[in-house]
Amino acid sequence: MGVEKESPTSSLGRDSIYRASLKLLRHIKNAGVFRCPEDDRPLDYAQIYPDDELTTEVMNSLIRCRYHKEGCRWVDKLQNLQAHLDQCPYDSIQCPNSCTRMLSRLSLDDHLEFSCPRRMVVCEFCNQQFPGDLFEKQHAGNCPYEVTWCENKCGAKLERRFLANHMRNECHKRTVQCPYCNRDFVQETLQTHQYQCPRFPVACPNRCDPTKIPREEVEVHIQALCPSATVSCTFKEAGCKHKCPRFNMDKHLDNNMKGHLQLMCDLVAKQQTQITQLCNALYSITHVTDGTFVWKISNYKQKFLESVYKNAELVSEPFYTSRYGYKMAASLFLNGNGAGEGKYISVYIKILPGEYDNILEWPFALPITFSLFDQCVEFDFRANISESFVPDPTWKHFQKPRKDTDRDALGFGYPKFVSHEILKTRDYIKDDSIIIKVKVDNNKFISP
């Protein structure tokens, strides 16, 4: 028998030879008969012997290292293989620190120096020794002696053990509270803030008191409280021009009671005139119509009785026919007047002296309609009663009224406007009231 010689280009190692020998022995055992593994012919055991010559030849054959795929370039005789493997840099060995890792001889140095969890590491900052895994998990990045940057990015560099104190008490980028307004600020901006802080205590500009007051209260202090502030006399609106420090004002008031009282009297008189003027102005505004004046007569029953006994005339509030129009008033005799006495309501219109008479057209010529409202709820069923006339320019009632015109003089209108019988029908009287409308036809009004 023999073993095939390997060419140096195949990766046959010592293991391959063992494997071949084992295969042969198994073959022999299994068969119970010695047979040649090559051609399977029976062999004579007596003729099997070690072949030194062949062994030498095999052991001299050139082989490559089994790690040549990993990069080992070793090529040599088979007999030198074991010696090579004992130092082949690609052969796996166990970490001498017993960290359980298997590593190639090549990476052992690296492992021992940098990654073996059982290696001992000396911290470059504190010079203490740590097992590698402890160092990485706990100490690295936490060494109190390592110099680091301040986390507030203030630019300071200091050993970690001093960092907390620095950030709490020294760092100019630390957050601090303004002691006056309690808002948070970066420390280096605090001073600038306090030039504007509304709660920062400042002295009164009048130096009234050494006690300082919050900045935002100074204005109110000066206006309302500061005894040194110059104030105007309480009677300023009445005309007193006196000014003095607040603490002196009482004295001024005591000494000038008479003068102040006179000022007040003058003021009251002046205001009274103004009130009268305003009332007149207000009156002329509220009594301007668009030509339609509606007059409600409440307490009808009582007024009717008064009218029966006294033949009293009811005169309406005066009104203007337009903003710069004629001033007039309506008048009513509930128990009738003249031809209508005792049986009718009589209604008249009176032209009164007005503000704009001098610029209006005379005699008065606008058509006038009197209406009595039917106060029925249903709008469509109402039957208002109306009478209209066009003023006769020759009648004295329609001439320009003089200032001394007799207001009690009778106007122009209808003595027999509505009979008492008709008045009791429908809803002419409702809730003890009647409502009369006077409509002046402004279509023909020539605006002054």
Token pair recorded at residue 193: 């803030």
Cβ nearer to Zn ion, comparing 223 with 277 = 223
End-to-end CA separation in angstroms for the chain = 152
Residue 162 touches Zn ion, criterion: CB under 5 A: no
Which of 201-209, 271-279, 348-356, 397-405 is the region at the interface with Zn ion (rule: CB under 5 A)?
201-209
Pick the stretch among 3-11, 200-208, 297-305, 423-431 that binds Zn ion (CB under 5 A): 200-208
Contact flag: residue 297 with Zn ion (CB under 5 A):
no
Residues 205 and 209: their CA atoms lie apart, in Å, by 10
* Candidate residues 12, 143, 434, 440; the one interacting with Zn ion per rule CB under 5 A: 143
Q: How far is the CB of 174 from Zn ion (least distance, A)?
A: 7
- Binding part of the chain for Zn ion, among 207-215, 276-284, 306-314, 393-401 by CB under 5 A, reads 207-215
Judged by CB under 5 A, the residue of 3, 20, 156, 365 near Zn ion is: 156
DSSP-assigned letters across all residues of 31-68: HSS-B-TTT--B--GGG----HHHHHHHHTSEEE-TTT
- DSSP label at 426? T
88/332 with CB nearer Zn ion: 88
- The residue within the footprint of Zn ion, chosen from 17, 163, 171, 329 (CB under 5 A), is 171
Q: What is the C-alpha to C-alpha distance for residues 360 and 320, in angstroms, rounded to an integer?
A: 12
Residues 369 and 388: beta-carbon distance below 8 Å: yes
Crossing angle of helices 257-286 and 246-255, rounded to 10°: 90
Residue 63 in contact with Zn ion, rule: CB under 5 A:
no
3-state secondary structure of 416: strand
Burial pattern 12-34, b for ≥16 Cβ within 10 A else e, equals: bbeebbeeeeeeeeeeeeeeeeb
Site for Zn ion in 355-384 (CB under 5 A): none
Residue 180 in the binding site for Zn ion (CB under 5 A): yes
Q: Identify which range of 44-52, 68-76, 316-324, 431-439 contacts Zn ion by CB under 5 A.
A: 68-76
Helix (H) or strand (E) holding 372: strand 368-372
Two structure tokens written together for 444: 């023909």
Q: Please give the single-letter amino acid code of residue 88.
A: C
Residue nearer to Zn ion on the CB measure, 110 or 317 = 110
Please enumerate, as own/partner, the contacts of 420-424 that have beta carbons within 8 Å and a separation of 24 or more.
420/343, 420/344, 420/345, 422/385, 423/345, 423/372
Name the residue nearer to Zn ion (CB basis): 60 or 128: 128
Instruction: Specify whether the CB–CB gap between 319 and 287 falls below 8 A.
Output: yes
H or E segment to which residue 133 belongs: helix 132-134
Interface with Zn ion (CB under 5 A), residue from 13, 58, 61, 67 = 67
Please tell me whether residue 231 binds Zn ion under the rule CB under 5 A: no
176 belongs to the binding site for Zn ion (CB under 5 A): no
CB of residue 364 vs Zn ion: minimum separation in angstroms? Answer: 56
- Other CB atoms within 10 Å distance of the CB of residue 349: 23
Q: Which of 3, 178, 294, 314 binds Zn ion (CB under 5 A)?
A: 178
* Least CB distance to Zn ion at residue 193 (A): 6
Under rule CB under 5 A, residue 242 binds Zn ion: yes
301 vs 308: CA distance, rounded Å: 11
Q: Looking at residues 21 to 60 of the shown chain, list those that interact with Zn ion (rule: CB under 5 A).
A: none
The distance of closest approach from Cβ of residue 238 to Zn ion in the complex, given in angstroms and rounded to an integer, is: 8
- CB contact set of 147 (below 8 Å; sequence gap of 6+): 125, 157, 158, 159, 160
Give yes or no for residue 235 binding Zn ion (CB under 5 A): yes
197 interacts with Zn ion by CB under 5 A: yes
Residues 81-140 that bind Zn ion (CB under 5 A): 88, 95, 97, 99, 116, 123, 125-126
How many amino acids of this chain bind Zn ion (CB under 5 A)? Answer: 30
Quick one: which segment of 172-180, 277-285, 371-379, 429-437 binds Zn ion (CB under 5 A)? 172-180
Closer residue to Zn ion (CB): 106 or 294: 106
Q: Tell me which residues touch Zn ion (CB under 5 A).
A: 65, 67, 72, 74, 88, 95, 97, 99, 116, 123, 125-126, 143, 150, 152, 154, 156, 171, 178, 180-181, 197, 204, 206, 208, 226, 233, 235, 240, 242
